Amino acid sequence: MSLRAGLPLRRAPLRALGASTSLPRVPVPSSLAVRARLTSSPTTTPSSLANVRFASSSSSSSSAGAGAGAAEQPPIPPKAGKPGLAYRGVKISHLFGGIVSLGLLITIYGLLEWYFSLQIWPEPIKTPLKKALKARGQGDYDRADEFFREAVTAAQSVPPSALDPDPLRKLSGIYITWATMLEGNGQPVRAFVAYRDALGLFGPSPLAKDRAPANGWAEGHVLDDEDHLRAIGLAQKLGQIAVRMGSFPIPPPFPHAATDKLKSWDGAGEAYLSGALGAMLRLGLAGRAPPTPESGPVVIGRDVNLPEKEGDTEGRVNRRGLGMTMEALAEVYARQGQYALAGQLLIQAISTLVPPQDKNPSVADRCQAAMLMTTVSSHALEPRTPQAVRASRSWSLQSLQFIDSAAEAAGWKDGSAPGDTAAAVCAQARSVANYNLGMLDEMDGNKKDAARRFAEALAVARESGFSEGRREAGEALKRVRAALAAEKK
């Protein structure tokens, strides 16, 4: 059984993936002398999210591979315990992944897509593009695929000046629309390749602070700030797909490119997401003076200043996008067994959803924060010590408190949630939190309390249509009740 969030999808036990350990880790701006080392860890109880912060120190820079932009290396996190170890006879197998909560977050805040008008295109491009969009609208995806390819080829046959202004954003827009169709039509690997080709248009370092000019089709084109935002959005999307592909028990083959140093889905997820994270932190902290002993260290939820507007046309380069990126990156590190670093990223993601200065966060943000807390509860158990068990329990209890506050703010009767997306996240988080607490009670030998928690998790799962939660909680309840019956004999 698992103490990780996201019961809906079963997957194989977490494993350490040495192939990606040399890739950049959580890059942050060197100009602000901030490194990704937190003063709070997953084994810290969540008594005050305001105390979750980045520690101030100097850091050295290194270059990120595969178009992920320049990055910096934080300290290596503590070694984690081995997944799947038994604790007082109860096996924790990490069957469920935090990637499910990532998917829920994307559902809440919208998928990334870019829109454009056909009027902006020269005739050689406009005709196949119009046919592609028409075929897509009719559900003829094979023909749409052919016409999108023809439109891209036509666009690359004209000089960039023919697409002024913003030639890179125009051409990448075709790629993005094409990739969105492929992904929606069940072809995520091909979508990944299209997004990667789009990002490649922006040159070797589009996410770096000092961006090099584009090469290839638009060789010499100097990237402006909007190009930079487009590149961040593409890196977010590439990282999300890579994490999702890597979550399968048998992942599809990674589409290796001759000019790409990346060799695996998890390596790609780490590189793209850490590149996007570093770029967003640089943007969000650009107006802040370097930390001093008087000002204290940087607190992401408080100090990072990113746009709050919804419906960004250049990707989720905002506070929620930052949280989404940290959440996805945490999943990569959890697979590598680096639970301390994964938990720290999740804590920072929580602080972006419910920052210390926000006295009235939205219901959607509270529900997603509650779901992330259940995942932190799991990571806190690596390695499993009495202190870690106490911290794990605290995070699950904190999750329930956030759910109750969301229910009160939304006016959900008796804490029950209607059928909207945020409510679904809250319902699943409530089921997972109770399940986690039941597992912890079972570890401690408190079978009666465990049965009560499992029964609550099962009831919530049934009411909300949470099929996997219903199955897992039902099995746990059956096991504990059988043990209680045996004790009475």
User: Does residue 1 sit within a domain?
Assistant: no
Domain of 238, in residue numbers: 18-122+158-488
Tell whether 336 is covered by a domain.
Answer: yes
Residue 439 in any domain: the answer is: yes
CA dist 49 and 311 (Å) reads 28
Sign of CA dihedral 220, 224, 228, 230: negative
Is it the case that residue 54 has pLDDT exceeding 60? no
Instruction: Please give the Cα distance from 329 to 277 (Å, whole number).
Output: 9
With H, G, I as helix, E, B as strand and everything else as coil, classify residue 35. strand
- The string of pLDDT tens digits covering residues 151-193 is 999 999 999 999 988 899 999 999 999 999 999 999 999 999 9
pLDDT digits 0-9 by tens, 381-430: 887 888 989 999 999 999 999 999 998 888 887 655 566 788 888 999 99
Residue 440, pLDDT score: 93
Evaluate whether residue 134 is within a structural domain: no
pLDDT for residue 362: 87
C-alpha to C-alpha distance for 260 and 93, rounded to whole angstroms: 34
SS3 480: helix
The DSSP code sequence of 59-98 is --EEEPSTT--EEE--PPPPPPPPTT-EETTEE----B-T
- Is 136 a member of any domain? no
- 298 belongs to a structural domain: yes
pLDDT band per the 50, 70, 90 thresholds, residue 59: very low
pLDDT at 83 over 70: no
The answer to which of 31-45, 310-324, 339-353 has the lowest mean pLDDT is 31-45
Residue 436 lies inside a defined structural domain of this protein:
yes
Token couple for 377: 């509860």
pLDDT at 469 (0 to 100): 87
Q: Are strands 61-63 and 70-72 parallel, antiparallel or unpaired?
A: antiparallel
Q: Please name the residues in contact with 443: beta carbons below 8 A apart, sequence gap of 6 or more.
A: 87, 88, 90, 389
Q: How many domains does the chain have?
A: 1
Whole-number pLDDT of residue 398: 94
User: Beta strand pairing status for 86-87 and 70-72?
Assistant: unpaired
Q: Is the pLDDT of residue 39 over 50?
A: no
- The yes-or-no verdict on residue 107 having pLDDT over 50 is no
Q: Are 262 and 310 in contact (CB under 8 A)?
A: no
Q: What is the CATH number of the domain that holds 105?
A: 1.25.40.10
Average pLDDT over residues 450-466: 93
pLDDT in tens, 234-246: 999 999 999 999 9
Residues contacting residue 273 through CB under 8 Å, at least 6 positions apart: 235, 236, 239, 240, 243, 325, 328, 329, 332
Cβ pair 384, 81 in contact under 8 A: yes
pLDDT in the model for residue 385? 87
Q: What is the mean pLDDT of residues 284-304?
A: 77
- Residue 127 falls within a domain, yes or no? no
- Read off the tokens for 316: 């989720």
Q: Note every long-range contact of 140-148, with CB atoms under 8 Å and residues 24 or more positions apart, other chains counting.
A: 141/181, 141/185, 144/181, 145/178, 145/181, 145/182, 148/174, 148/177, 148/178, 148/181
pLDDT of 61 reads 28
Write the DSSP assignment of 190-251 as a string of letters. HHHHHHHHHHHTT-S-TTSSSPPPP-GGGTTPPP-HHHHHHHHHHHHHHHHHHHHHHTSSSP
